[in-house]
Structure 1
Amino acid sequence: MTHRSIGFALKVFSVVLCFFCLCWSAARAETGPDRICARPQEGAVVEEPPVVASTNGALAVTLKFRSVTEPGGNVRYCYVTEAGLESPTLRVAPGDRLSIHFQNELPQKDAVASMPGMEMGGDCHGMMTESATNLHFHGMALPPQCHQDEAIHTLIAPGQAFDYSMQIPGGNPPGLYWYHPHPHGFSTAQVQGGASGAIIVEGIQAVIPELKTLPERTFVLRDQLLTPSQVDNPDPLKPSWDLSLNYVPVKFPRYVPATIHARPHERQLWRFVNSAANTIIHLQVLYDHVPQTMEVYAVDGVPMAKGPVAQTSIFLPPGSRSEFVVTTPALGETAQLVTQMHDPGPAGDSAPARPIANIVAMKMKEEKVRVVANAKVARLPESLLDLKPVRTRSLYFSQNGNGTEGGAGAATKFYLTVVGQPIKEFDMSAPPNIVARQGTVEDWVLANMTPEDHIFHIHQVHFQLLEVNGTPVDDPLVRDTILVPHQVGRTPISNIKVRIDFRDPGIVGTFVYHCHILDHEDKGMMGMIQILPAEAGSDVRQ
């Protein structure tokens, strides 16, 4: 081989090597630890979650479930589409077909037998491991069936693909819902790590015409574990968990707020989901430290039939949603989105007042208002007060062991018990705790016998508050998530009474009710209900 040919070969080799290095670097940039479930910096501008919307009556999307361990040991989780969109907002219309090709890309962990009934098998009866997961579509009246919204036994193993396919019910109220993992025993870690996203069922502008011309914003609030150095901080007002807004972190102790940019003095529809695993939020908008009026048009995905309610504070327990109109600040006006302090009881989490975001008015390009072609006009849910319940059931929240800072200690066990049944942790393999009929409504009295708050949530259905501590209340809201306050001193046991709507024909099957402080749910505060087909001739009218 001549010197010239050797030189040419070396040049070719160098070019090939350089190309390989560039490709490797690009791949590393996409999949390296610093890019998996990437998070913004403190103080960053809050961006809208990416949107994946249905077209021609269908939405098909691939969600890859990924994780990465941070240097301090905390684990981040996220859902990523084929296009690289993280935790997208899914926008669908009533009647649409939603198909999700789900891929669990978590690392394999050893099987865990920390909860009763985890050893399963079959398509929707997977084996429980720390890396197993699933999806729950919070607040939606989807069938509790395999490949739809079955969240008890569906466990998707690492490396496994699973297909969800469901039709959004034609009568599904238009509004804000959300999706998140629901593997019993491990929900807290995955949700706190960031695994959640919004779902918007289109049509709220069709039933509330005054919202048609308003630009809208979607905000997903999450909570996160503290780092070891934060845990060691002796500050008595230390929170149990950090917060983030659309993944922009707001970290103790500096609490550098996120930044929301907005056109000045503009009415906007804000769609806000508290997807925190454990944190209760008292939302306020302050302009020059003065609370502003927020016009609430929908709660837990259900528009308010009698029009908006003006509030200066919005209470959002974990899992709940609020859709409200705000008027953005004027240029130069000091404005913040904050959460007020919440007292969850002596054994509850620490939830101090803290800022969430600075709202900065600035001259911006006018936002294009989203217009949904041929938006279906959904029927607004009627009040449940005029319906006759077929029975009244009584349940109670209880726990043993001592709570520690940050809520439940390792020794604390939590229970949600039907009166007359034995007190025990949730067992996935046990028969249902409650059997009811489709086509009926029931009244449930929920008592809290513990020194900390609990959040009642039931899958598939909504309910309406009737009484607090035996006193009737005038509450028009139809919800799927509600606070059951802690017991105070030697006062009578705190309780609420709700009317639950089991009339939807698509809910036949077995699903769960539980405390939506996920630390409590993971430690046993959950039960199962089976809905049987309706009996002929049943009538729930008064």
Structure 2
Amino acid sequence: MERLSPFLRRLLIVVLVGLFSSVSVFIEEASADVTLPSPPHPPVCPKENTETFENPQFAYADKGGITLDATKSSFQLGSQTFDGYLYGSTYYDENGKKQSLYTSYTPPTIRVSSGKSIDLTLTNDLPISPNPQIPLPPTQQNLEKQSQDTNLHYHGFGVSPLLGSDDVVMHVHSNQTANQQDKGGYYPGDAPPNPEYEPITEYPMHVDILENHSGLFWYHPHVHTVSDTQIRAGMSGGIIVEGFDRYYPISKNIPPDNGKPITEQVMLFKDFNDVLKSDPNKTYNCFTLNGQVNPKMTIKPGEVQFWRIGNIGADTYLNLQLLDSKDKQKQVPLYILARDSNNITTHPIETTGPILVPPASRVELLVVGGDTANETYNLVSQLLPEFPTQPVYQLATVQVEGNPVKYNTRGKALDKFITEQTPAKDDKTLPILEELAKMPYCKGSIYTKDCVIEPSTDKKSDLYRTFTFDSAILNDPKQTVVSRINAKLYDENRIDTVATLHTNEEWTLINADAPVGTSQPTPHAFHIHQLDFIVTDVTLPPEYLFPKKAKDQYPPVTNDKPYDNNAATCIYQKKNVLPLPNKNGDYEGYVCKLTQNGYRDTINLPLNSITKIRIPFSNPSIAGTFVYHCHILIDEDTGMMQNIKVIDPLPGKLLKAGTSTPSMNSVSSNLQRIVD
């Protein structure tokens, strides 16, 4: 959607995602029996073509190198044509034959084996950056108007953040310049008559994939202040690391009677709003699926399909649910196997309620076709009846058709057989979930792999690990609304946090954002590069657990309430537990301890909440500088991002359990030397 002002931008995010994102996470069971009304403000999508669902094109990195050329071009969506920033590409198919794909709103999904590498060359042919739709904080990128820079981030990967790999501070300048006499690839005044170095318009990358990686990842640009526009205009695609069956051997454990492998559906969603304004008279608000509008999918009666789902858009939450088209009170079960490329470590999670998928997050799951043919399901992004003015996004139509499929479930019902599966293999690189959640704080300044560094409450301490997400107005003529972490705007040249390899840290994430001009808090989607983390507990306002109860009806304890499809035990506390006061001026809420079932790289920070996470810095590949930020990218572009530098105290060596690392005090005392 077009954001007409900072106030409307914030208000519309609240309208579209804010209210439902917290509530839907926590009252999944309560909402399952409710028939949703038809929304009075439905999504606005391009006219449909009644297309049959198609997987994206696949580029096989094991077979050869890949090129992506970023440029402005047109594309078809439904029955209409739009302008976008798109990737053209060359790659090798499954048979090793070189292919070319003209600019596409759905660029190829890269497939690569774990332990192998991706060799990719990015070329920038983007036009000069258009005037931003909202005021942005001043940076060189949005002031000089000479080149629209870009780069490429490999989202979810624990790979090197250094130059030539997953370095998001690297800028690739454009071949297109404001003045035709200026050479592409340089900032103004930086192009000498006889340059010693070539301009940076083409950037080769070599990304080594770890052996423990598998599942659905994605790629997208990450230049500060333009990432939102570039992704909204089409610049994002999927990456699949083969080897998921090492953890959940689906086809082996659930073989069909016809011997065919289970069907894999790769489903990449983007929030579409015609950011380049091809149609200036219309404001779009839609989700696309692999560049299609509400495509038709098919599944046989009783058939098990494996759906890899990614929210690879810029700003909008998905809240997935599969509904029977004839009986909206009938929800179709989904069986979650992995979140953010991290497998569920206990058993597949069966749910009929919504699955919240924030921007950048992924979920991989099983779905089972109905008992008989001619059933129709609607895959929707759901909202709650407490907010009837919200849009409900129709994502795909699923038709049950064909001959029934039966499986050898060893005498058990199929749903029970699925939920009794357990991972065949554990990831030995990361700590065991339950052990990390219960790990004690380190004693003194001796930090080992067997303890968690206790965060300091002193803001001046090097161990201060409380991060407050909020917004403010700059004192400038435009009254620019900016997004912040700990009252700071992002600076590419500033190191905000220093961490050490072979340690574990606990962070507190506070969403205290009540946007300027509104009284309604807004959600944020926290993401950290190169790393995975666990959520140990979250504190929420009581109305999000019990939205219809009067204040004096809040029970003191609740058990087994779902948080992000996790069980939680929540204890009510009346004083000083939340960043923002409620309607009565009190700071109160539920402190919820979570049951662990998997690592994450992106998590929703609900409205007016406090979230605690634990991060293991155990992967030596990640040494270097990278970022953490809100993955609602308009917030990231307006300042809600910081830099973290991870240092290796013993380069090239892994510490054994019980071995101490240098104290953070000794590390921080040499910080200036390290940064330099």
TM-score with structure 2 setting the length: 0.61
CA shift digits 1:207-239 (9 cap, x unpaired): 212345422110000012258799988xxxxx9
Paired residues of 1:244 and 1:356 also in contact (CA < 8 A): yes
Render the CA deviation track for 1:22-67: whole Å, top value 9, x for unaligned: xxxxxxxxxxxxxxxxx99543222100011243xx6411112222
- Which residue in the other structure is 1:361 paired with? 400
**Residue deviations 1:283-335, cap 9 Å, x none?**
01112432111110000001112121111221100000000000134421121
The change in CA–CA distance for 1:61 and 1:497 in structure 2 (over 3 A counts) is same
8 Å CA contact 1:279–1:318 kept in 2: the answer is: yes
Gaps of 5+ in 2: 1-45, 91-98, 177-200, 253-260, 406-423, 440-450, 456-464, 514-520, 540-590, 661-676
Distance 1:119 1:340 in 2: 37
The yes-or-no answer on 1:341 pairing with 2:456 is no
> Contact 2:127 / 2:147 at 8 angstroms: preserved in 1?
no
Residues 219-260 of structure 1 deviation map (CA, whole Å, 9 limit, x = unaligned): 000012258799988xxxxx98321111113xxxxxxx3222
> Paired residue for 1:425, among 489, 492, 495?
489
Instruction: Specify the SS of the correspondent of 2:140.
Output: coil
1:68 aligns to 2:73 (yes or no): yes
Match of 2:292 among 244, 248, 255: 248
**Residue 75 of structure 1: CA displacement?**
4.0
Residues 1:48 and 2:118 aligned together: no
Counterpart of 2:630?
Answer: 515
Q: Does 1:78 align with 2:193?
A: no
Contact 2:137–2:480 (Cα < 8 Å) also in 1: no
Query: Does the alignment pair 1:145 with 2:162?
Result: yes
Counterparts of residues 292-371 of structure 1 (less than 5 Å) = 292-312=332-352, 313-329=354-370, 330-341=372-383, 352-363=391-402
Contact 1:222 1:276 (8 Å CA) reproduced: yes
Specify the code of the residue in structure 1 equivalent to 2:400: A
Which residue of the partner structure matches residue 526 of structure 1?
641
Match of 1:279 among 316, 319, 329: 316
The amino acid across from 2:272 in the alignment is: Q
Q: Secondary structure at the match of 1:178?
A: strand
Contact 2:65 2:118 (8 Å CA) reproduced: yes
Match status 1:135 vs 2:135 = no
**Cα deviation digits, residues 63-105 of structure 1 (max 9, x gap):** 1222226899974122222333341111111211210021222
Letter in 2 for 1:84: S
Amino acid at match of 1:471: C
Matched, 1:385 2:404: no
Paired amino acid for 2:309: F
**Residue number among 481, 484, 504 corresponding to 2:602 in the alignment:** 481
2:468 maps to which residue? Answer: 396
Which residue matches 2:250? 210
Aligned to 2:618: 503
Quick one: distance in 2 between partners of 1:351 and 1:152? 37
Quote the residue 1:472 is aligned against. Answer: 593
> Would you say 1:178 and 2:218 are equivalent positions?
yes
Change (3 A) 1:117 1:295: same
- Quote the residue 1:261 is aligned against: 298
After superposition, the C-alpha distances for 1:322-379 in whole angstroms (9 at most, x for unaligned) are 000001344211211011126999xxxx95222111112344999xxxxxxxxx9773
Match of 2:192 in 1: none
Aligned to 1:14: none
Question: In the aligned structure 2, how far is the partner of 1:115 from the partner of 1:162?
Answer: 27
8 A contact 1:110–1:129 mirrored in 2: no
Per-residue Cα deviation, 1:484-538 (whole angstroms, up to 9, x for no partner): 1112xxxxxx210000121100000000000000010010000010001135868
State the alpha-carbon separation in 2 of the partners of residues 540 and 246 from structure 1.
48
Q: How far, CA to CA, are the matches of 1:541 and 1:386 in structure 2?
A: 20
User: CA 1:302–1:143 in structure 2 vs 1: closer, same or farther (change >3 Å)?
Assistant: same
Aligned pair in 2 of structure 1 residues 356, 191: CA closer, same or farther (>3 Å)?
A: same
Q: How far apart are 1:400 and its partner, in Å?
A: 1.9
Q: Distance in 2 between matches of 1:480 and 1:180?
A: 16
Q: Secondary structure at 1:189's aligned position in 2?
A: helix
Q: Percent identity?
A: 28
The residue identity in structure 1 corresponding to 2:263 is P
Deviations 1:184-225 (A, max 9, x none): 101111111121111111111122123454221100000122
1:153-192 to 2 correspondences below 5 Å: 153-158=170-175, 160-172=201-213, 174-192=214-232
> Partners in 2 of 1:518 and 1:140 — Cα distance?
19
Q: Is the 8 A contact 1:241 1:279 kept in 2?
A: no
Contact 1:344 1:452 in 2 (8 A): no
What is the letter of the counterpart of residue 395 of structure 2?
I
Q: CA deviation at 1:117?
A: 5.5
Q: CA deviation at 1:115?
A: 5.0
Q: Which among 122, 130, 155 is matched to residue 102 of structure 1?
A: 122
The letter for the 1-side match of 2:595 is: D
Q: Contact 2:221–2:230 (CA<8 Å) still a contact in 1?
A: yes
Distance 1:518 1:540 in 2: 40
Letter in 1 for 2:311: N
Q: Which residue matches 1:221?
A: 269
Deviates more, 1:273-282 or 1:127-136: 127-136
Q: Tell whether the 8 Å contact from 2:71 to 2:125 is kept in structure 1 after alignment.
A: yes
Residue 428 of structure 1 and its aligned partner are, at CA, apart by 1.3
Check whether the contact 1:390–1:441 (CA below 8 A) recurs between aligned residues.
yes
Letter in 2 for 1:62: T
SS at match of 1:132: coil
Structure 1 residues 68 and 533: alpha-carbon distance in aligned structure 2, compared to 1, 3 A threshold: same
Give yes or no for contact 2:302–2:404 (8 Å, CA) kept in 1.
no
Superposition RMSD on alpha carbons, in Å? 3.5
- TM-score w.r.t. length of structure 1: 0.75
Cα distance in 2 for partners of 1:364, 1:495 equals 50
| 1:196 lines up with 2:266 in the alignment | no
| Cα pair distance change 1:168/1:133, threshold 3 Å | same
- Give matches, 1:430-449, under 5 Å: 431-449=494-512
- How many pairs were matched up? 452
- The answer to whether the Cα contact below 8 Å between 1:240 and 1:351 also exists between their aligned partners in 2 is no
| Contact 1:116–1:427 (CA under 8 A) maintained in structure 2 | no
Alpha-carbon contact 1:267-1:328 (below 8 Å) kept: yes
Bigger RCO of structures 1 and 2 (CA < 8 A, at least 6 apart)? 2
Q: 1:175 to 1:70 in 2, by over 3 A?
A: closer
Bigger mean CA deviation after superposition, 133-142 or 530-539: 530-539
Give the Cα separation in 1 of the matches to 2:311 and 2:595.
24
Q: Indicate conservation of the 8 Å contact 1:110/1:130, yes or no.
A: no
